[in-house]
Amino acid sequence: MTNNTKWGVVAEFDSAASIYHAAEKVTHHGYTRVDAHTPFPVHGLDRALRQGPSPLGWIVVCCGATGICLAQLMMWWMNGHDYVFWVSGKTPYAWPSTIPITFECMVLLSGFGAVFGMFGLNRLPRLHHPIFRHSTIWRATDDRFFLSIEATDPKFDSRETVRFLESIGGKHVEIVEE
């Protein structure tokens, strides 16, 4: 196998503490294209891996603002402009009565933004991922913690990286193919 078809190296760790320390060492050693694979979010691991915060909040704010505008436009246009009707002694467009639906539309679109934005940022759903070739990766959703270094990392070297991961306590260190 040539270097081109390698996706990266994956190592197994057996506790939240050990993956945390391993992540610190790996990034400290200069690796940048690293990721962890854990059964639950490990507190502080994003800092250890030097991964930035999520921009999802901005997506949601934009979606929420869109929801407010669309709802207001809809109610004003439908009841106050296109087919004006006077009912229950209120003006055709009466702002207090538009608040509930405006709020619901804001929440609905924000929720879509949060969920689909999260999927988009995570590039999910996907049918396959190279990491599934690792022999014990199935335990990443059970009780084991994995660290991966991708082959595209400038510091990546199949032999050196494997040895490094073993030296910091990784088990089942395997080269995973694309």
Partner 1 sequence: MTATAHMTAPSLQQLAPTIVPKVKDGDLATAQLGALVLGAALIGGAWATGGERFYFSYLVGYMGVLGICLGALFFTMVQHITRAGWGICVRRLAENIMGALPLMALLFVPIYVGFDHLFHHWVHPDPNDHLVAGKSAWLNKNFFVARIVIYFAIWIAMAFFFRRASLQQDENGDPAVSLRLSRVAAPGLLLFALSVTFAAFDWIMSLDPHWFSTIFGLTYFAGAYMAFFAFTILMAKWLGKRGYLRGAITVEHYHDLGKLMFAFVVFWTYTNFSQYMLIWYANLPEETRWFADRAEGGWGAIGTLLVFGHFFIPFGFLMSRHVKRNGVTLSIGAILLLVVHCFDMQFLILPTAGSHEQGPAEHGAGHVANAAEAVETGIARFTHDFGTYLHGVHWADFGCFVGLFFVLVGATLWNVRRANLVPLRDPRLAEALHFQNF
Partner 2 sequence: MTAILVVDEPENPLRRAALVEGKNDFASVTNIIAGVAEKRTPKGWYLMFGCAIALLLNLGAMIGYLVFNGIGVWGNNIPVGWGWPIVNFVFWIGIGHAGTLISAILFLFRQKWRTSINRASEAMTIFAVMAAGIFPAIHVGRIWVIYWVFPLPNQMSLWPNFKSPLLWDVFAVSTYFTISALFWFVGLIPDLATFRDRAMKAGRTVAAKAYGVFAFGWHGSNRHWIHYEKAYLILAALSTPLVLSVHSIVSFDFAVSLLPGWHTTIFPPYFVAGAIFSGFGMVITLMVPARQWLGLHELITLNHLDNIAKILLLTGTMVGYAYGMEFFIAWYSGVEYEQFCFINRATGPYWWAYWIMVTCNVVSPQFFWIRSIRRNPMALFVISIFVNIGMWFERFVITVSSLNRDFMPSSWGYFSPTLIDVLTYVGSFGLFFTFFLLFCRFLPILAISEVKGVMPEANPHHGGHHGASNGGHH
| Contact partner at residue 159 from partner 1, partner 2, none, CB < 5 to 8 Å by partner kind | none
Minimum distance from CB of 92 to partner 1 (Å)? 7
Q: Which of 129, 152, 163, 167 binds partner 2 (CB under 8 A)?
A: 129
- The Cα–Cα gap between 130 and 118 comes to 21
The answer to the question of residue 6 lying near partner 2 (CB under 8 A) is no
Tokens of 169: 């306590």
Helix (H) or strand (E) run with residue 97 in it: helix 95-122
| Neighbour-count burial for 93-112, b at 16+ CB within 10 Å, e otherwise | beeeebeeebeebbeebbee
Q: Which amino acid is at 3?
A: N
Site for partner 1 in 74-93 (CB under 8 A): 76, 88-92
The answer to the question of residue 28 lying near partner 2 (CB under 8 A) is no
Site for partner 2 in 140-159 (CB under 8 A): 140-143, 146
The residues of the shown chain that bind partner 1, judged by CB under 8 A, are 43, 76, 88-92, 96-97, 99
